[in-house]
Amino acid sequence: MKQIGIIDIGSNSIRLVLAKISENKCFNIIDEVKETVRLGKDMTIHGELNSLKIEKAIKAISFFKCLCEAQGITEIIAVATEAVRKASNQSKFINRVKSELSIEIRVLSGTAEAYYDYFGNINSMDISNALLMDIGGSSAELIWVENRKLKYSISLPFGAINLTERFYLNEAIDEKTEKDLKKFILSFYKDIPWLKEIKNLPLIGIGGTFRNIAKISRKKNEYPIDNIHNYTITMDEVEEIYNMIKIKNQAERKKIKGLSKNRADIFLGAVGAIVTLSQFLNLKKLYVSGCGIREGIIYEYILKNNKPLKDVLDFSINNYMVNHEMNLNHAKQVWKLAESLYNDLKPILNINCDYYNILKTAALLHDCGIHISYYNHHAHSFYIILNSKINGLSHKEQLMAAYIAALHRKNDFKINLQKYGKVISENDIEIIEKLAVLVRICENLDGGIHGNISSVSCTIRSDNVTINVKSKTDSFLEISQALECTAAFEKIFSKKLIIKAS
C-alpha cells in the first residue's frame, strides 16, 4: 500500500489530494484540501507573480506538506499551471518552494494540462466522443475526444481571474462590456481550426466554475442527489444562470444559493466563456465532471502508461469492492448467477432499455454496507452506492443500483419517489423491483459463500418459471433459502417460481 500527495497549484486555488494506492491498482481518496490563493491575480506589469500572493502560496504549500507528514506520506507530486507557467519570476517561486519545503514543482505546459484533464475524465466517465473544457483562473483548455482518444487540444490564455480583471466583471455589467467580453473570447475560438469541425457533441465541464454552475442548478431545481460528478444540465439553463449573474453586483451574487462566496467576484467571466463557446458551436448539453488534473495524475501513476481503461465501470466497481473489504468471491458469484437470470428471463422482464450495468453494479456491491455494520447492511449499501462516485453510471442508474442492492435481503426497504421523483419514475420502480428479486435469489443461492452453485438456467412457461441449478455438491440448503423469494417473485412476475437441482 502506497500513499501519495498531489499538490495542484492553480491560478485561483491550490489543492491537495491524498490518495492510498494498493498493489492491485485500486485507490482511495483519503483527504482533499483547498486554499484560495489567487496566484494569478494582481500580477505586475512585468508579468511577475505578486509577492504577497507568493507568500500566501508558500504558506499553503507548507501547510499541505504538514498534512502529508501527519499521514506518513513522503511522496508528493506538485504541479503548477497557467499563472506559474507564464510568470516571469517562475524560477524564483519554484526555487523558493524547493529550498524552503524540499518540494519540486513541475510546471505543466498547456498541452500537458489538457492531457491530464483528458486522462482524468476518460477514466472516470463513460464517454467516447465529447468536447472537454477546463476553465481555470488564468487559462482554459479545450480537448476534443474521439473514440476515447485525445484528438486535439489547446490551452487558451483566459480564465476566471484575468477575464474579471480585464473587463471589470466583479460587479454588474452593461451591454457594451458584455459585447466586448464575448467578442474577445470568440476571437480565440475562431482561431482554432479544428473547433469548427465539432458537431453535436456533449460538453464535459471541468473545474470550479462548472461545479458551481451545477450547484446553482441543483439548488434551483431541488435536485435530490449531492454528487456533482456526471450532473447533467442543458446549455439553455447555463445561459439562464449567466443572464442572472451578469445583472447582479458582487454582494448580490454572494446570496445566490450554490455559488461559492469565494468565487462570486470572478464567476461571470468564466461562465461567459462557456456560454460563448456554446453559442459558437450550438452545444445542447453539459455534463459536469468532478475529475481533472489531479485524477489524471493518479490514473497515470497507477496505470503506469497513457492507455485509458478498457472498462471504466468495471474498474470503478472493483475499486469500491476492494476499498470496502468485500468478499470478492461471493460478490462475483452473485453477479455471475444474476447475469444468467437476467439474460434468461428477458422475455418476462418486459424492459425496453439495457439495465445490464445497473444490475451488475447492484449485484457486485450489494454487500458493501457490511463494511459499516452487518446489521442493516442493506441500508448502508444503499447509502454507499448512492453517495459514491461510481464512474460509468448516470445519476439515475446509480440510484436504481442503490435501491436494487438495498432490496437484496427483503422487499421492505422503501423507495422514496417523493424525494427522488426528479430522477426516477414509477416505471423505474417496477424495474428496480424486478431486478432486486433476481439479486435476492442469487444472494441466497450463494448463501454458503463458497460458490457451490456452478450455474443456473431458466425455463419459462405460461404459469411458472423454473430455475435449474447445477452445483458441485448437494444444493438442498441453497435452494431452500432461494425458495424464500417465491412470494416476491410471484407477486412481481405473476408466475409461480420453481427452483430445483438439475
SS3 of 448-464: the string is: CCCCCEEEEEEEECCCE
pLDDT, residue 411, reads 75
Whether residue 352 has pLDDT greater than 90: no
**What is the pLDDT, as a whole number, of residue 395?**
97
Q: Where are the domains of the chain?
A: 2-107, 111-294, 312-501
Question: Concatenated DSSP letters for 372-398?
Answer: T-STTHHHHHHHHHHHS--TT--HHHH
Condensed to tens digits (0 to 9), the pLDDT of residues 393-424 reads 999 999 999 999 999 987 789 999 999 999 99
For residue 160, which of 141, 176, 190, 140 has the smallest C-alpha distance?
140
Domain 111-294 matches domain 312-501 at the CATH topology level: no
Q: 312-501 — its CATH code?
A: 1.10.3210.10
**CB burial string 135-163: b at 16+ within 10 A, e below:** bbbbbbbbbbbeebebebbbbbebbbbbb
**Would you place residue 448 in the very low, low, confident or very high pLDDT band (cuts 50, 70, 90)?**
confident
Three-class SS of residue 200? coil
**pLDDT confidence of 364, banded at 50, 70, 90?**
very high
- Local structure of 51: helix, strand or coil: helix
Which of the four pLDDT bands, split at 50, 70 and 90, describes residue 188?
very high
Pick the closest to residue 4 from 270, 295, 306, 216 (CA basis): 295
Integer Cα distance of 91 and 96 in angstroms: 8
User: By percentage, how much of the chain surpasses pLDDT 90?
Assistant: 95
What is the mean pLDDT of the segment spanning 88-117? 97
What pLDDT does residue 144 have?
98
| Three-class secondary structure of residue 57 per DSSP | helix
* Arithmetic mean of pLDDT, 308-319: 96
Torsion of CA 211, 118, 149, 270, to 10 degrees: 50
pTM score, whole prediction: 0.94
Three cell numbers, residue 467: 430455475
Measure the CA–CA gap between 38 and 96, rounded to whole angstroms.
18
Q: What are phi and psi of 192, to 5 degrees?
A: -100, 105
Domain 111-294 sits in CATH 1.10.150.120 = no
Residues 233-248, mean pLDDT to the nearest whole number: 98
2-107 CATH pick, 3.90.550.10, 3.30.420.40, 3.50.50.60, 3.40.228.10: 3.30.420.40
Distances (CA, A) of 266 to 15, 16, 256, 457, 465: 18, 22, 14, 60, 62
For Cα atoms 223, 224, 227, give the angle at the middle one, nearest 5 degrees.
90
220 pLDDT tier (thresholds 50, 70, 90):
very high
Average pLDDT taken over every residue of the chain: 96
Give the C-alpha distances (Å, rounded to integers) separating 253 from 122, 171, 260, 390, 443.
33, 9, 9, 33, 51
